[in-house]
Amino acid sequence: MSARIAITLAWLCAIGAVVFLLSPLLVIAAASFSPTPVFDLPVGGASLRWYARIGALDGFWPALSLSLQLALLSTALSLVLGTLAAIALARGKLPGAQAIATALVSPLMMPGLVLGIALLQYFRAIGFNATWSALLVAHVVVTLPYVARTMIAGMVRFDFTLMEAARTLGCTYAQAIRRVMIPALAPSFLIAGLFSFLASFDNYPVSIFLTDVRTKTLPIKMLQYIDEAPDPTLAALSTLILIATIVLLLASDRLVGLHRMAGTGD
Amino acid sequence: MAPGAPHLVVRQVSKRFGAAHVLDRVDLTIARGELVTLLGPSGCGKTTLLRLIAGLESPDAGSVELAGRDITRVPPHRRNVGVVFQSYALFPHLTVYGNVAFGLKSRGRSRGEIDAAVGRALSLVHLEHLGARRIAALSGGQQQRVALARAIAVEPDVLLFDEALSALDRKLREEMQVELRRLLREVGATAIFVTHDQDEALTMSDRVAVMFAGRIEQVDEPRIVYARPATLFTLGFVGLSTRVSGIVAGSNNGRVEVDTAVGRLSAIGNFLIGSPVVVAVRPEHVRAAPETAGNCVAGRVRSIVFHGSNSLVEVDAGAATTLLAQIPNDVSAPPRVGDEIRLCWPVAETFAFPMPEAGA
Ligand SMILES: Nc1ncnc2c1ncn2[C@@H]1O[C@H](COP(=O)(O)OP(=O)(O)O)[C@@H](O)[C@H]1O
Ligand SMILES: [Mg+2]
């Protein structure tokens, strides 16, 4: 009896938390259809006029392009580096493997502000002042822990006998990686890549220290828009990003699921 | 190649991991179509020897020849060796079909050839209806069969099984032993089984290679390994036996007289007088009936274990010596615990081995 009450309470808490977390998103989405130029709920009829204005925002396209470049490149770099590190940690009998793994993942636990200031000072000290490259390096630092964490977990569970089986069946080591390790770890790669992409795309606290007047990422630009002209265009943009994220998540869920189910090709 | 000609030749192979000598100058020659078991306790180097043959390890010394080709330095993907791993190592992202087709694809076979070969391999293991199944949806026994089909499909020069049946439960394992042997005969495969299970070794193979501490102690037909063990280790590892230590008191024409704590025993063997030896006999040669010839020892029955048609009787002969006798259950007056009995056995079934050095 008391167990049922506890379970009911737990459910209520969970639902409350979900509502609390999701309602701002719903409000933003609703506001983006507002017919008036104030952040308001669209009571009298919806409008798509703010969506049409997104592209006209000052400096929007360069910011979007920069953010996408950084997210894609830092994710690609982190996937390669993180996977290699995970293989070394899971396979090699490295002394202090546990400590190395912890160090790799530690930026996750560090406040972004601290990381941003540290990187800024470090880049200044070594005279590294190419904004775009500095941002890319910083985003690799931000995304690598996500990839490393997921890939180490995947690699520890990966049965390396599969690689030996592939080799006795006619694969070179490289072919065994391509035909067995990568597909068997596909879910890990996908999840790692997804988290990494999102972590880079919406990073604010680290990027803010490394941008200059002409090179700004989308989140930084968005905050600037809010300061300059707070109208529902920003709500429309946020809603689009939200939809894109949801589509990405659903698609990858489908991909992993479908891949598992089909499983004939390799 | 003529049947019986050497097909796989392992010559003077040694392997060390750090300071440990895992294999010590191992020789093994296997004929085409032969089924050979590597039998030995855990850690004696069986898996390492198998991996050396597969090319997954390379030897520190010695050579490996397969089908007339020196493959000592050939990487695994160019050896044409099939391996069935203890964990099966099936590819989880592929179906049954995808797994069995894997090696054929590596070899660049055409679509039609692959289809035909996968079909053949799956029907050999009676899984032709499960080609589209995912690996995770198979039982342990079915996974074992897929692993076998995957290894056979490429028609390897030799098939290697590393404790391949040990994950199955006992009943299934015994069925698979018989079926596997029939199947390998049918396709004319040359195979090496690694096992620490003596029953499996005796059931499955044409010859058994008994391994101990990185060395092959004896390679013979199962019946000979059992009836004429070459070393004390083989005697103890394969089957039950009574062992009594003593000193050689007389030696003549391949027969020795040995003084032991339970009296003087005769045995087969050649030793100098005064040598310390171990005298041994299998329980099925020991009789409770009074005999006139052979070795006889008296004692008190300590325990009786019923085994259906016969019973295993443990007799305390004093002086910390226990004798094992396998007594048929059709005798009119079976012994009972506590009875004083006299056990006798023929000299021809009594072996003498050199006493192992202290610590060995
Ligand atoms: N890669 C390795 N590194 C170090 N020692 C190993 C390695 N592989 C095996 N050994 C050691 O070699 C010995 C023989 O191992 P193995 O061939 O697996 O024995 P078996 O299969 O007969 O149980 C064991 O003592 C084992 O610990
Ligand atoms: Mg082993």
Of B54, B94, B97, the CB nearest to A168: B54
Residue finishing a domain among B182, B205, B236? B236
- Point out the ligand nearest to the CA of residue B24: 1
Contact at 8 Å (CB) between A105 and A85? no
Question: B165-172 long-range contacts, Cβ below 8 Å, gap at least 24?
Answer: B165/B195, B165/B200, B166/B86, B166/B195, B166/B197, B167/B86, B167/B87, B167/B88, B167/B140, B168/B140, B168/B141, B168/B144, B172/B140, B172/B141
Residue finishing a domain among B236, B260, B275? B236
Asked if B229 and B292 sit in the same domain, the reply is no
Q: Render pLDDT for B287-319 as a digit per residue (tens, 0 to 9).
A: 887 666 788 888 899 998 888 888 899 998 887
What pTM was estimated for this model as a whole?
0.78
Q: Which residue has the higher pLDDT, B286 or B332?
A: B286
Contact at 8 Å (CB) between B197 and B237? no
CB–CB contact B87 A159 (8 Å): yes
Q: Is the pLDDT of residue B41 over 50?
A: yes
Would you say residue A180 lies in a domain? yes
Which ranges in chain A belong to alpha helices (H)? 2-31, 49-53, 60-91, 97-105, 112-125, 131-157, 161-168, 173-176, 182-184, 186-201, 218-228, 233-262
Q: Render pLDDT for A6-15 as a digit per residue (tens, 0 to 9).
A: 999 999 999 9
Q: Is the pLDDT of residue A261 over 50?
A: no
Residue range of the domain that includes B331: 240-354
User: In Å, how far is A256's CA from the nearest CA of chain B?
Assistant: 11
Contact at 8 Å (CB) between B314 and B244? no
Residue finishing a domain among B205, B236, B267? B236
Residues B322, B327, B329, B331: is their CA dihedral positive or negative? negative
- Of B18, B21, B26, nearest in space to B53 by CA: B26
Would you say residue A25 lies in a domain? no
- Of B130, B121, B145, B136, nearest in space to B96 by CA: B130
Asked if B166 and B196 sit in the same domain, the reply is yes
Q: Render pLDDT for A173-218 as a digit per residue (tens, 0 to 9).
A: 999 999 999 888 888 898 899 989 999 998 998 898 888 878 889 9
Would you say residue A132 lies in a domain? yes
In this prediction, residue A58 carries a pLDDT of 83
Q: In what order do the strands lie in the sheet with B295-306?
A: B322-328, B310-316, B295-306, B340-345
Would you say residue A221 lies in a domain? yes
Contact at 8 Å (CB) between B161 and B55? no
Query: What are the chain A neighbours of B71 within 8 Å (beta carbons)?
Result: none
- CATH code of residue A154: 1.10.3720.10
Q: Whose CA is nearest to atom 9 of ligand 1?
A: B48
Would you say residue A11 lies in a domain? no
Distance B43 CA to ligand 1 centre (A): 6
- CATH code of residue B91: 3.40.50.300
Query: What are the chain B neighbours of A179 within 8 Å (beta carbons)?
Result: 102
Q: Render pLDDT for A131-152 as a digit per residue (tens, 0 to 9).
A: 889 999 999 999 999 999 899 8
Would you say residue A115 lies in a domain? yes
In this prediction, residue B360 carries a pLDDT of 45
In this prediction, residue A44 carries a pLDDT of 63
Of A161, A172, A179, the CB nearest to B89: A161
Q: Which residue has the higher pLDDT, B11 or A233?
A: B11
Chain mean pLDDT for chain B: 89
Query: What are the chain A neighbours of B94 within 8 Å (beta carbons)?
Result: 263-264, 266
Average pLDDT for residues B47-53, to the nearest whole number? 95
User: In Å, how far is B84's CA from the nearest CA of chain A?
Assistant: 8
3-state secondary structure of B302: strand
Asked if B192 and B299 sit in the same domain, the reply is no
- Angle (nearest 5°) at CA A121 between A115 and A126: 120
In this prediction, residue B1 carries a pLDDT of 44
Q: Please report which confidence band the pLDDT of residue B65 belongs to, taking 50, 70 and 90 as the band edges.
A: very high
Asked if B328 and B204 sit in the same domain, the reply is no
Q: Which residues of A231-248 are buried (b: 16+ CB within 10 A; e: fewer)?
A: bbbbbbbbbebeeeeeee
Query: What are the chain A neighbours of B146 within 8 Å (beta carbons)?
Result: none
Please state the domain count of chain A. 1
Q: Which residue has the higher pLDDT, B227 or A165?
A: A165
List phi, psi (to 5°) of B105: -65, -40
Six token digits for residue A99: 């400590």
CA B225 – CA A37 distance, rounded (Å):
94
In this prediction, residue A265 carries a pLDDT of 40
CA B315 – CA B321 distance, rounded (Å):
9
Q: Whose CA is nearest to atom 20 of ligand 1?
A: B43
Q: Render pLDDT for A25-45 as a digit per residue (tens, 0 to 9).
A: 888 888 888 777 766 665 666
User: In Å, how far is B177's CA from the nearest CA of chain A?
Assistant: 22
Distance B42 CA to ligand 2 centre (A): 6
Lowest average pLDDT, out of A97-101, A260-264, B151-155, goes to A260-264
Would you say residue B106 lies in a domain? yes
Average pLDDT for residues B314-343, to the nearest whole number? 84
From chain A residues 104-163, the ones with a CB under 8 A of any chain B CB are 159, 161-162
Non-local (6+) Cβ contacts of A139 within 8 A are A70, A71, A73, A74, A200, A203, A206, A207
Residue range of the domain that includes A68: 58-261
Q: What is the dihedral of CA A18, A21, A26, A29, to 10 degrees?
A: -140
Query: What are the chain A neighbours of B54 within 8 Å (beta carbons)?
Result: 164, 168
Would you say residue B1 lies in a domain? no
Would you say residue A97 lies in a domain? yes
Q: Please report which confidence band the pLDDT of residue A56 belongs to, taking 50, 70 and 90 as the band edges.
A: confident
Would you say residue A122 lies in a domain? yes
Please state the domain count of chain B. 2
Q: Is the pLDDT of residue A106 over 90?
A: no
A258 has a chain B CB within 8 A of its CB: no
Lowest average pLDDT, out of A226-230, A239-243, B141-145, B264-268, goes to A226-230
Q: Render pLDDT for A60-89 as a digit per residue (tens, 0 to 9).
A: 899 999 999 999 999 999 999 999 888 888
Would you say residue B360 lies in a domain? no
Average pLDDT for residues A55-62, to the nearest whole number? 85
Would you say residue B331 lies in a domain? yes
- CATH code of residue B253: 2.40.50.140
A165 has a chain B CB within 8 A of its CB: yes
Contact at 8 Å (CB) between B261 and B323? no
Q: Is the pLDDT of residue B112 over 50?
A: yes
Contact at 8 Å (CB) between B294 and B346? yes
Asked if B336 and B287 sit in the same domain, the reply is yes
Asked if B224 and B253 sit in the same domain, the reply is no
Nearest CA in chain B to A167: B77
Q: Which atom of ligand 1 is nearest to the CA of B194?
A: 21
Say how far residue B47 (Cα) sits from the centre of its chain.
Answer: 13
- Give me the interface pTM, i.e. the ipTM: 0.82
Question: Taking each helix axis from N to C terminus, what angle separates A186-201 and A60-91, rounded to the nearest 10 degrees?
Answer: 140
Give how far Cα B236 sits from Cα of B8, B210, B229, B243, Å: 29, 11, 9, 9
Nearest CA in chain B to A171: B77
CB–CB contact A184 B95 (8 Å): no
Q: Is the pLDDT of residue A231 over 50?
A: yes
Six token digits for residue B201: 């070794």
Neighbours of B331 (CB within 10 A): 13
A174 has a chain B CB within 8 A of its CB: no
Would you say residue B139 lies in a domain? yes
Asked if B69 and B211 sit in the same domain, the reply is yes
In this prediction, residue B340 carries a pLDDT of 87
Average pLDDT for residues B186-201, to the nearest whole number? 89
Asked if B301 and B318 sit in the same domain, the reply is yes
Question: Taking each helix axis from N to C terminus, what angle separates A112-125 and A131-157, rounded to the nearest 10 degrees?
Answer: 120
User: In Å, how far is A193's CA from the nearest CA of chain B?
Assistant: 19
Say how far residue B127 (Cα) sits from the centre of its chain.
Answer: 29
Would you say residue B359 lies in a domain? no
Q: Render pLDDT for A84-100 as a digit per residue (tens, 0 to 9).
A: 888 888 877 778 888 88
